[in-house]
C-alpha cells in the first residue's frame, strides 16, 4: 500500500493541537459563570487532546508535504471524524449523564453544521458547554469553506460549477502560498461576518452571550441555540431580520464575493447558480406565504410574511433556525420545506444539501434530453454561466444526485428499524444527510434524536459527516480500489 498514512496522521495531530486550544474560551466562560466542575472537565479534555495531537505531530512531523488526490479524501474524512471523536470529550468529562455514542452524535452534529441534538433540555446544559457546542458548528462551517474553496476542486468532489477565470483555484500538489492566501482570506471574512452579526444582535438588545451563540450558529449554518425554543425565545422581529440577512450571505457561494471585487454586481447578476438560488427562494416564499395566508393557522396577518421568509431561507440554507412550529403548518407548506431540504444552499458556501448548482445542472440535463428526443440530430451541450459544462462534470453531478437518493433510502431504512412513522424516516434522513437539523413528526423542529438506539445514532453521526463532505469523500474509503497500491 503506497499511501502516506503518516502524512495524514501528521495533519490530524496538528488539527488536534488546534482543537485543544479552541477549548480554552469555554473554560473562561465556565469560570466567569462559576461552573467549576465543567471547567475542570474541559481541563481534562484539553490535556488529553493536546497530548494525543502533540505526539502524533512530533512522530510524523518529517513526513510528506505533497499530497495526491486520494490522500485528500482520506485527509477530509480523518479531520472530520477525529475532530468529532476528540471534540466529544467535554461532554463526557463535564459530569453529564451521557454515553460516548450520544457525545459523538452531538459533536458530529456540530462539526457537520447539522444542529440536531440528543439533549431534550439544552437550557439545562452549562454555559461553557453550550458555547463549545456552538463553536464546533462554527469551526465545522469554517473548515468546510476552506476545503470547498481551496481543496475540494482539486479532488473533483466540488466540480459542480464552471469555474470562471477570475475565481480562485489551487491544486493538491502542495499547500502553496496561493492556497494559504485563499484560506487566510476565508478565515478573515468568516470571522468578520461573525463579529459583525454579534455587534448587530447586541445593538438590538440581545445579550452578549446569546449574541455569540446565535451568531456562531448563523454564520456556520449550524443552527445551534442555547434555548429550547431557539430564536422564538426573543420577542420582536429585529433579531430574526438580522439572522435572515446573514443566512442569505453565508448561503451564497463565497467565491462570488471574490468575483464581486473584480467584476462588481455582474458577478451575481450573471451567475446561473445565484439566479437559481434567488428564484427558488422567491417562489418558495410566495407559495408558503399564500398558503399560510389563505389557510387559517392562527397567526396574525402581520407575521405570515416574516415567518414564511425566515423559514424558507433557514431551511434552504440548511441553517435550521425555527421561527414557528412548521410541523403544524398545512401539509402543502411542509412539502415545500422538504423540497428545500433536498436542494440545499449554494456550492462553496457554509450551507449543505445537494447544492443549487447541481439542481441547475440536472434541470438543464433534463431539458437537453427532451430536446434531443425531439431533434435527434442536434448536439447541444449543457451550459452554465454561458459556458459548456464538461461531460465528466455532468456525469459527476448525475452520480452524486443518484447516490444522494440512494443514501436517503438507506438512512430511511435504518431509521425504520426504530419502528417510527414512514414519513419520519425519510424527513429525518433528509434533514441529517442535508445537515439541516429540524425535522417533522416525532423528532420535531428541535431535531431531538435522544430517544433513538445507539446503532441508529452512530449510523446517523456518520451520515451527517458524509453529507457534509459531499458523500463521495466518505464512501470512496470503503472501496477496495482506494486502498490498493498504485
pLDDT on residue 428? 93
Are the C-beta atoms of residues 78 and 55 closer than 8 Å to each other? no
- Residues whose CB falls within 8 Å of the CB of residue 272, separated by 6 or more in sequence, listed in order: 357, 360, 384, 385
Helices (H) and strands (E) in the chain, counts: 22, 2
Q: d(Cα 457, Cα 88) in Å, to the nearest integer?
A: 14
Q: d(Cα 23, Cα 38) in Å, to the nearest integer?
A: 12
**Strands, E, within 228-311: which ranges?**
none
Tens digit of pLDDT at every position of the chain (486 positions):
445 677 788 889 989 999 999 999 999 999 999 999 999 999 999 999 999 999 998 988 776 555 666 777 788 888 999 999 999 999 999 988 799 999 999 999 999 999 999 999 999 999 999 999 999 999 999 888 777 665 555 444 444 433 333 344 334 344 455 666 777 788 888 999 999 999 999 999 999 999 999 999 999 999 999 999 889 888 888 999 999 999 999 999 888 887 888 888 888 888 889 999 999 999 999 999 888 877 755 555 556 788 889 999 999 999 999 988 888 888 889 999 999 999 999 988 889 989 999 999 999 888 878 877 777 666 677 788 778 888 888 888 888 899 999 999 999 999 999 888 888 899 999 999 999 998 888 888 888 998 899 999 999 999 999 999 888 878 888 887 777 755
State whether residue 114 is helix, strand or coil. coil
Are the C-beta atoms of residues 52 and 152 closer than 8 Å to each other? no
Q: d(Cα 354, Cα 246) in Å, to the nearest integer?
A: 21
For the record, the C-alpha cell of 193 comes out as: 461576518
What is the pTM assigned to this prediction? 0.90
Q: d(Cα 111, Cα 51) in Å, to the nearest integer?
A: 21
Amino acid at each position: 500500500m503506497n499511501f502516506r498514512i503518516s502524512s495524514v496522521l501528521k495533519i490530524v495531530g496538528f488539527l488536534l493541537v488546534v482543537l485543544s486550544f479552541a477549548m480554552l474560551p469555554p473554560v473562561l466562560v465556565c469560570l466567569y459563570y462559576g461552573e467549576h466542575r465543567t471547567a475542570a472537565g474541559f481541563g481534562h479534555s484539553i490535556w488529553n487532546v493536546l497530548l494525543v495531537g502533540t505526539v502524533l505531530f512530533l512522530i510524523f512531523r518529517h513526513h510528506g508535504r505533497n499530497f495526491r488526490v486520494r490522500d485528500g479524501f482520506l485527509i477530509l474524512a480523518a479531520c472530520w471524524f477525529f475532530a468529532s471523536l476528540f471534540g466529544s470529550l467535554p461532554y463526557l468529562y463535564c459530569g453529564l449523564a451521557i454515553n460516548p455514542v450520544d457525545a459523538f452524535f452531538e459533536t458530529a452534529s456540530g462539526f457537520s453544521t447539522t444542529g440536531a441534538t440528543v439533549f431534550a433540555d439544552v437550557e439545562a446544559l452549562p454555559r461553557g458547554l453550550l458555547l463549545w457546542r456552538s463553536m464546533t458548528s462554527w469551526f465545522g462551517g469554517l473548515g468546510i469553506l476552506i476545503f470547498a474553496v481551496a481543496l475540494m476542486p482539486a479532488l473533483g468532489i466540488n466540480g459542480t460549477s464552471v469555474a470562471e477565470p477570475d475565481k480562485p483555484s489551487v491544486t493538491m500538489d502542495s499547500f502553496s502560498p496561493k492556497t494559504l492566501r485563499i484560506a487566510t482570506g476565508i478565515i478573515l471574512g468568516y470571522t468578520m461576518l461573525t463579529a459583525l452579526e454579534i455587534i448587530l444582535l447586541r445593538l438590538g438588545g440581545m445579550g452578549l452571550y446569546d449574541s455569540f451563540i446565535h451568531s456562531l450558529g448563523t454564520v456556520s449554518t449550524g443552527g445551534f441555540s442555547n434555548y429550547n425554543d431557539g430564536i422564538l425565545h426573543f420577542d420582536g422581529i429585529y433579531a430574526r431580520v438580522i439572522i435572515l440577512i446573514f443566512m442569505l450571505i453565508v448561503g451564497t457561494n463565497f467565491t462570488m464575493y471574490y468575483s464581486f471585487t473584480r467584476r462588481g454586481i455582474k458577478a451575481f447578476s450573471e451567475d446561473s447558480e445565484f439566479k437559481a438560488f434567488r428564484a427558488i427562494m422567491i417562489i418558495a416564499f410566495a407559495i408558503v406565504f399564500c398558503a399560510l395566508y389563505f389557510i387559517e393557522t392562527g397567526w396574525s396577518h402581520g407575521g405570515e410574511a416574516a415567518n414564511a421568509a425566515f423559514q424558507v431561507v433557514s431551511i434552504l440554507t440548511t441553517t435550521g433556525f425555527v421561527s414557528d412550529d412548521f410541523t403544524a403548518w398545512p401539509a402543502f407548506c411542509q412539502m415545500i420545506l422538504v423540497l428545500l431540504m433536498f436542494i440545499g444552499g449554494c456550492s462553496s458556501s457554509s450551507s449543505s444539501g445537494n447544492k443549487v448548482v447541481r439542481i441547475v445542472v440536472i434541470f438543464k440535463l433534463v431539458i437537453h434530453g427532451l430536446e434531443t428526443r425531439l431533434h435527434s440530430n442536434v448536439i447541444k451541450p449543457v451550459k452554465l454561466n454561458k459556458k459548456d459544462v464538461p461531460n465528466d462534470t455532468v456525469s459527476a453531478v448525475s452520480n452524486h444526485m443518484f447516490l444522494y437518493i440512494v443514501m436517503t433510502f438507506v438512512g430511511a431504512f435504518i431509521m425504520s428499524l426504530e419502528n417510527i412513522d414512514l414519513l419520519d424516516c425519510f424527513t429525518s434522513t433528509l434533514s441529517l444527510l442535508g445537515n439541516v437539523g429540524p425535522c417533522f413528526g416525532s423528532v420535531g423542529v428541535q431535531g431531538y434524536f435522544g430517544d433513538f438506539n445507539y446503532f441508529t445514532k452512530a449510523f446517523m453521526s456518520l451520515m451527517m459527516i458524509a453529507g457534509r463532505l459531499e458523500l463521495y469523500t466518505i464512501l470512496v474509503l470503503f472501496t477496495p480500489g482506494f486502498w490498493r497500491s498504485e
